[in-house]
C-alpha cells in the first residue's frame, strides 16, 4: 500500500500558538454585559465581526444601541488594549512550527479571529511564520464550516489526506476530520510534538 505523504500542517492560533485570551470575557465584565441575554447578542455580533461582516466601530455601535448603554470607546479600542496586555506566544509550539517549515512542510494558520487581533499578531511578526493564512475575518467563514478547511487546503495546494490540522477546540477538530484531514486535539507542546512525529513517521527532530 502506497503510504500517503503529509505535505502540510495547519495550525489554529488562539489556544495553540498563543494563549487562550480571556479578553472578550473581560470586556463583558468591563462594560457590564454579563447578563445572559446580553452575552448571547454579544457573541452573535462578535461572530459577525469575526467573519468581517461588520467592522469594530459597528460592533460597538450595535452593542450600545441594543442595551442602551453609553460605552465611551477608548482609543486604542478595548479589543486591542486588553489583547496586547495578555497575549503570550507559546514558544515551544512556535519552535515545532519552525522546525516543520525547515523540514520543507508547508505551514498554514487557520483561525477564527477579529481584525484588531490580526493586526496585533502581524505587528508581532507572528504571521510571517506561515506559508498560508486563512483568517475568518478575511475569508468570511468560520470554523467548523467545511468551506474554510477546503479553502485552506486549496491555498496550500494539497489534498485533505496530505494535511494535518491542530486545534485546541474539539468541535473544530471534528470539522477538519469531516473533510478528511487528520487532526490533533492540542493539549500541550510535548503531546503535540509526539503526535506530529507519529504522523510524520519520525521526521521531526
Structure confidence by residue, pLDDT tens digits, 151-191: 999 999 999 999 999 999 999 999 999 999 999 999 999 99
Given a cut of 60, whether residue 1 has pLDDT beyond it is no
Looking at residue 20, its pLDDT comes to: 80
Given a cut of 60, whether residue 2 has pLDDT beyond it is no
Looking at residue 30, its pLDDT comes to: 73
More confident residue, 70 or 113: 113
Looking at residue 94, its pLDDT comes to: 98
Can you tell me the mean pLDDT for 192-204? 88
To 10 degrees, the CA torsion angle through 132, 135, 113, 49?
160
Close Cβ partners of 32 (under 8 Å, ≥ 6 residues apart) = 69
Looking at residue 195, its pLDDT comes to: 96
Can you tell me the mean pLDDT for 192-201? 94
Looking at residue 34, its pLDDT comes to: 67
CB-based contact 126:89 (threshold 8 Å): yes
d(CA 126, CA 98): 11
CB-based contact 43:33 (threshold 8 Å): no
Cα angle 184-25-69, degrees, rounded to a multiple of 5? 145
d(CA 153, CA 180): 11
d(CA 66, CA 86): 28
Cα angle 86-90-91, degrees, rounded to a multiple of 5? 125
pLDDT one-digit tens code per residue, 131-143? 999 999 999 999 9
Looking at residue 148, its pLDDT comes to: 99
Can you tell me the mean pLDDT for 90-113? 97
What element of type H or E holds 52? none
Looking at residue 75, its pLDDT comes to: 65
pLDDT one-digit tens code per residue, 24-75? 677 777 777 767 777 888 889 999 999 999 998 899 889 888 887 776 666 6
Rounded to two decimals, the pTM is: 0.91
Amino acid at each position: 500500500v502506497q503510504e500517503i505523504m503529509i505535505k502540510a500542517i495547519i495550525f489554529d492560533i488562539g489556544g495553540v500558538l498563543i494563549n487562550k485570551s480571556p479578553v472578550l470575557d473581560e470586556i463583558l465584565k468591563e462594560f457590564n454585559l454579563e447578563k445572559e441575554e446580553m452575552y448571547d447578542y454579544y457573541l452573535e455580533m462578535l461572530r459577525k465581526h469575526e467573519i468581517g461582516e461588520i467592522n469594530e466601530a459597528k460592533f460597538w455601535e450595535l452593542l450600545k444601541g441594543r442595551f442602551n448603554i453609553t460605552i465611551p470607546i477608548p482609543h486604542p479600542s478595548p479589543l486591542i488594549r486588553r489583547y496586547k496586555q495578555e497575549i503570550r506566544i507559546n514558544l515551544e509550539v512556535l519552535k515545532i512550527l519552525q522546525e516543520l517549515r525547515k523540514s520543507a512542510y508547508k505551514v498554514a494558520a487557520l483561525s477564527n479571529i477579529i481584525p484588531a487581533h490580526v493586526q496585533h499578531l502581524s505587528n508581532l511578526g507572528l504571521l510571517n511564520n506561515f506559508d498560508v493564512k486563512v483568517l475568518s475575518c478575511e475569508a468570511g467563514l468560520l470554523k467548523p464550516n467545511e468551506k474554510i478547511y477546503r479553502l485552506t487546503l486549496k491555498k496550500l495546494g494539497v489534498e485533505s489526506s496530505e494535511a494535518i490540522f491542530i486545534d485546541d477546540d474539539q468541535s473544530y477538530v471534528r470539522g477538519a476530520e469531516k473533510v478528511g484531514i487528520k487532526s490533533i486535539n492540542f493539549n500541550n507542546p510535548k503531546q503535540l510534538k509526539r503526535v506530529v512525529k507519529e504522523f510524520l513517521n519520525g521526521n521531526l527532530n
